[in-house]
Structure formats: C-alpha cells, structure tokens
Chain A
C-alpha cells in the first residue's frame, strides 16, 4: 500500500513533484559542480605547490628575510685580460663568467637545524636543501679601430676581479690597445640549482618528479660533481645523460633527467646536485636555505608549526595552507571565486530548494487535510501517515538529487572538455624558483641583465583545471537530496500527524 499510494501521489500530483524536483535538482547540480571544481582548484593549488615544494611537504622552514641580507646580487668584473680575442681582424673581445651563489632572496640556516627540526614531536622527516643560482654572463664587445694602432699584443692576466674568482675566464687576448668601445652583445643566463641530500628523498623537491632517463642520486654521489637535470631544461639546452654541464667553476656530469609528475611543465629547479657539493662550491659549507618537513599526521601540522616557531627564532615556518595563500594569478582568482561566490551561491540555492520543498510539502498536507483525517478515521496511525508524507518527500528529493547529479556531472564534463588553464604563481618564502633571464644589448651599449625582483622569487605553473568526479561528490548529492526530502517530509508529516481525525467529519457536520 505504501509504495502504491506513494507512486500514485507522485504521478497524480505532477506539478508539485516537478517543482520540488526542479528546485532540488538545481541546488544539487550547483553543489556538485562547485564541489568538483573546488576539488579541482585545490588539486591545482597542490600541483602549483608541488612543483616547488615537492610531494608530502607539510611545512617549510626558512630563514626570515631581512632587507639587507640574502643572496647577493652577482657582480661580474672583467679586467683587461678577461676576454679573448679570436682573431686580430675581428676587433671583438669575448667575455664569459659563471658564478654559483645563493639564490636571490635566499638566506641560510645551519644544517644542524635539520636535525633540530627532525627531533620535534610529530615530525616524520625533515630534509635540508641549498638553493643556488648559477649566473652565466657571456658576450662580446667590439672595439672601434683607431688609426695608427695596429698589430696584436697579448696581455697577461692583469684583470682585477671583485667577485668570487670562480668561473672567471682568466685568459684573454686583445687586439688593439687604444681603440674605443665599439658596442657589444651580451647574454645573461640564470640557472636554478638545488643542492639536495643524496639519500632517498621522501620529502623535498624531487618527490614530485620521476626519473625519465639515467638514475637518481645514490650515497656514492656524495661530494661528487654529478647533476640531475629537469627535463624541460635539458631539452632547452640539448643536454642528455652522460653530457656535462658547467656550473660555476666546476663541470658536472649529468647522471639523470627528471620530469614533473604533476601537470606542471617543470620541476622546482633546473639542476639538482649533491648537497655537500653545492655547499662546497657556493662557499656555504654546513648551511641550507630551506628545510622541508613532513608531519606524521596532517592533524599535527599546526602544533608542529607552533613548536618550530618557538624553538627556532628568526625562521619562517610555513604550512601548506600558508603556502597556498601565497599562490597568486588566475588560480588564486579561481580559488577565491569558488570559496566565496560558489560556496555561498550553493548554500543560498540549497536553502531555497529546501524551503521550496518544505513549503510545498506543508501546503500539500494542508490541502490534503480531509484525506489524512479520513485515513485517521479508518484506522491509520500517526506514524503511518507521517511515513507516507515523508516517503513522498524523500522520493521527490531523490528524484531532484538524481536529476541534479546528472546535470552536475554534465556541467563537470563541460568543464573538463573546456579544460581551462589557470596560472598559479608562488612567491616569497625564500624558496628558490625558476627564472631564466636573457638579455642582449645592441651594439654600442650593454644590455641590462634580467634579474628578477630583488629578494623575492617567483614560480609560475600553468595548471589545466580538471574537475574530478569522486564518489564523495555523488554521495554528497544523494545525501543532500535525501536530507532535503527528509526535512520537508518530517515537517509535513509532523503537521499531518497533528491533524485531529475529527477534521474529516467536521468538514461535513
């Protein structure tokens, strides 16, 4: 009887069923789409962060930046013998210097801090890394030919160097000693280099990468001039395993190529080298620039953050949530849009749908006063009438939920077909990011080298927004529709059960 009555009511009162169903479907569809896109945006944020911090990093510890400190701006000084002149007739002097130094904006922490962090309660693993940048200056200058000066002379190594000596091309020869400056052409390349522990990395930048060729670091690589390259960097520079790469004054043998496992196009740095090698070459022995921390449980993250801040003064402790807030660009806009407009719109539509369902159910009960009074008069209990009304509402809710979930899935499909690309930029936190600046000057003047913003580093990752369909989202849709039906049904049923059975007779008395 229950199902027959329910079916008859729903099919014979189509208008009410359709209105409640549409209201519920609209709300559920919106909730499904917003939830899914929200998951997609969160995943995109995680991707943007992973490209910099790696997988599994819950907290990063860096030295608090101060205006007057940090990685120094590299300077290049060339003496009179700093260039090389291939031929006396060319009138050009080639200059080349390469320096490996702390990344812009990076400051160091003692490596012993890594052990200190690891000892903190709740910390599963901590890894210290040294973020460097290799700055390569190369180019040529032309000398204007002056009358009366001819011939060639070789010069010694009389150039003065104010910067670190490494990487400076020391030998040079010049033609013409009295010519004027005839213009030049310079390029200025920066390569991000990261010194990482050679032991298996369970937290840190390489956790979000996969080795596409060659191998990962092993314990025997400690102290050696070996390097692992980011795939896109290797491709751009036509490098492969077995080749060499010059960083500062040293030449590294490439032992592996890695690529990002996330949808980000590149990994955190261009080149990875053993931590001790990096410390030695940069003169930062016993120093790291960032500590990546993995927590035993995600619920401990805030506690660990507080403990580390108390224990290690002068450091900046950032959680994943802090890092997410550092993301800017369209990804940030999408996140704000979803968390504000999307959430509140969903709540508003859901509340409206619930209200419509409740009002229609109660109004339906009022219209059916005589019907329920009659049923009570012929022996139906309050419970049976309440169950009947609630059953009708729940089924209306479920119909709305199914239609809404289908509409929501269609919406998600559209999002995934369109696959909007959103850009996320992470800034600050002292963590090194990729940047390569190349500039060339027109003859007659030197080009300004393309340094990034002084002191802050930026990493940009273009992430394709994928709105995932999960069981959770489907369960959420069904749960909400049942909840809406139950609330409306409970209120309607309660009202029906309060009707006095005498109503049926009174209406004709």
Chain B
C-alpha cells in the first residue's frame, strides 16, 4: 500500500467503532494559476470518525487550506468524493453547500474574522443563517448570550471587536462557530495570532467543547504544541496526506 493510497481508518473503539463523519475517496484538486496547473490535493483518501480531534500539519502550500475548504463545503474537488455523513459534497449544489455550512459546520479562523462593526453578541447572532435564521429573535438572542457566557464573555456582550483582546476575539469566534450546535468544528490556525498564555486558554476551550459536545474537530496548524494535543495527527505535503 503506497503512502498516497493509504486509507487512514479511525482508531477502533473496543466495542463498536464510530461511523466516519468524513470520508474522502481519491480526492484531487487542481488550480490553474496563470498558465500553470497547480495540484493542491492529489488522490487523497481519508476517513475521519465522528468525535475525533484531528490536527493537520504541513508546510505552506502543502494543501492544508485546500483540504480544509473541502471539509468545510467551501469548495468542491476536481475529482473524487468528499462525503459528510451520507452526503457527497462534490455532487451538491451551491444552495445545499450553503445550508451545510450554516447548520453543520463551525469555522474558527486565525485572524478571528469578526465583523468589525458588530458587537460580540451581534457577531454571534450573525451565525444564524440558512434554516436557523428562521428561529425567533428571542431564541437567537438567548442562545447567543449563552454561547458567549460559556466562553467566559458574559460581561463583554456589547463590546465591539476592537474593544476586545485577541484572546477574547477568538473566544467570540468560537462562540459564533458553536452557537448553532454544529457536527464539526474546523479551525484554521486558531492560535496563530495569539501569545503563549492565550494559546493555552484557547486550546483548553476548544478541547473542553470537543469533549462536552462530542464534536468532531479538525485543526490546521503549524504549531507542534497544538498538534500534539490532538488525538490524531496528519501531515500534508505536496497534496498527499500521511499519518504521523
């Protein structure tokens, strides 16, 4: 079995192994950059069981972000299948992908990506999209307040992002990602813009949510300290994935 063909199975539980939430089958993604064809992912086969905390490492340009886009229903593969639960993302239309992002996936970004003109509470409320946007205003407000309280920002509801520290902003971003009770949390360098103390706080928070909610968490990181805290580590290089 070659490295590229390696199917990485979930670590089996003693009794019954959990069903995979993600299954990538022979996924290839190519881009046309000017006149040059760039292969971002090359025949990736990967299975991620539900409830796993996975860290993906690798050099810049190795395909980490492209893989995260596939997992996050932000893009479709050039060839192959990306299955989330029972649905093949590659075969779904834009509307269905938008709904998946709105209800099943939570994103956390390196730069926090909060809306600068909205308060912390309003930023969290902005996560109610797609079918969740139909919830009552009161319920949206209640759930958003609870999410911010859970990340320790009950006193900062009406603060604008600029009035919050980097760690607090990332907490707001985590609350925004989790307020819709997603099945998956995808984090792109979540501690990349934070100092060491704050990095610890954020990772502790993510780990707590992962355990409490039974989330599937995929973290893309350059930071080995962060990667080591994951259950499983993958290395992505030149479009190919291997287990560490």
Contacts and interface: CB of A to CB of B under 8 A. Distances in A.
A506 B63 CA distance: 11
A232 interface: no
How many residues of B sit at the interface, in one of the four size bands? 35 or more
B220 to A, nearest CB: 9
B22 interface: no
Contact of B107 (A1, A13, A378, A507): A378
B65 A506 contact: yes
Contact of B128 (A1, A13, A370): A1
Nearest to B132: A379
A12 B192 CA distance: 28
Contact of B126 (A375, A500, A504): A375
B69 A508 contact: no
Contact of A384 (B64, B129, B132): B129
A509 B81 CA distance: 23
A381 B125 contact: no
Contact of A504 (B98, B109, B127, B129): B109
Contact of B129 (A12, A380, A502, A509): A380
A150 to B, nearest CB: 113
B126 A5 contact: yes
A12 B117 contact: yes
A320 interface: no
Interface string B67-100: 0110010110000000000000000001100110
Q: Which of A1, A11, A370 has the most C-beta atoms of chain B within 10 angstroms of its own C-beta?
A: A1
Contact of B69 (A371, A382, A502): A502
Contacts of B122: 1, 4-5, 8
Contacts of A8: 117-118, 122
A505 B74 contact: yes
B107 A509 contact: no
A18 B164 CA distance: 28
B115 A5 contact: yes
A381 B99 CA distance: 8
Contact of B189 (A11, A13, A382, A508): A508
Contacts of A12: 116-117
Nearest to A372: B115
Contacts of A376: 74, 98, 101
Nearest to A377: B107
Given A5-B115, A12-B116, A508-B188, A502 B125 contact: no
Given A1-B125, A8-B118, A378 B102 contact: yes
B114 to A, nearest CB: 8
A504 B125 CA distance: 19
Q: Which of A371, A505, A507 has the most C-beta atoms of chain B within 10 angstroms of its own C-beta?
A: A505
Interface in A348-405: 370-371, 374-382, 384
Nearest to B98: A381
Interface in A474-509: 500-502, 504-509
Q: Which of B94, B109, B111 has the most C-beta atoms of chain A within 10 angstroms of its own C-beta?
A: B109
A63 to B, nearest CB: 75
A501 B113 CA distance: 13
A113 interface: no
B103 interface: yes
Interface in A1-42: 1, 4-5, 8-9, 11-13
Contacts of B64: 509
Contact of A508 (B116, B127, B192): B192
B126 A378 contact: yes
A378 B127 contact: yes
A5 B117 CA distance: 8
B215 to A, nearest CB: 16
B4 interface: no
A502 B75 contact: yes
Given A5-B115, A12-B116, A377-B101, 6 more contacts: A13-B117, A379-B101, A379-B130, A381-B129, A501-B74, A506-B65
10 nearest interchain CB pairs? A379-B102, A509-B65, A379-B129, A12-B117, A8-B117, A374-B113, A508-B110, A379-B101, A501-B74, A502-B74
Interface of A: 1, 4-5, 8-9, 11-13, 370-371, 374-382, 384, 500-502, 504-509
Interface of B: 60, 64-65, 68-69, 72, 74-75, 94-95, 98-99, 101-103, 106-107, 109-111, 113, 115-118, 122, 125-130, 132-133, 176-177, 180, 188-189, 192
26 contacts: A1-B122, A9-B117, A13-B117, A374-B115, A375-B115, A377-B74, A377-B107, A378-B106, A378-B107, A378-B126, A378-B127, A378-B129, A379-B103, A379-B127, A379-B129, A379-B130, A379-B132, A379-B180, A380-B129, A381-B95, A502-B74, A505-B65, A505-B188, A506-B65, A508-B109, A508-B188
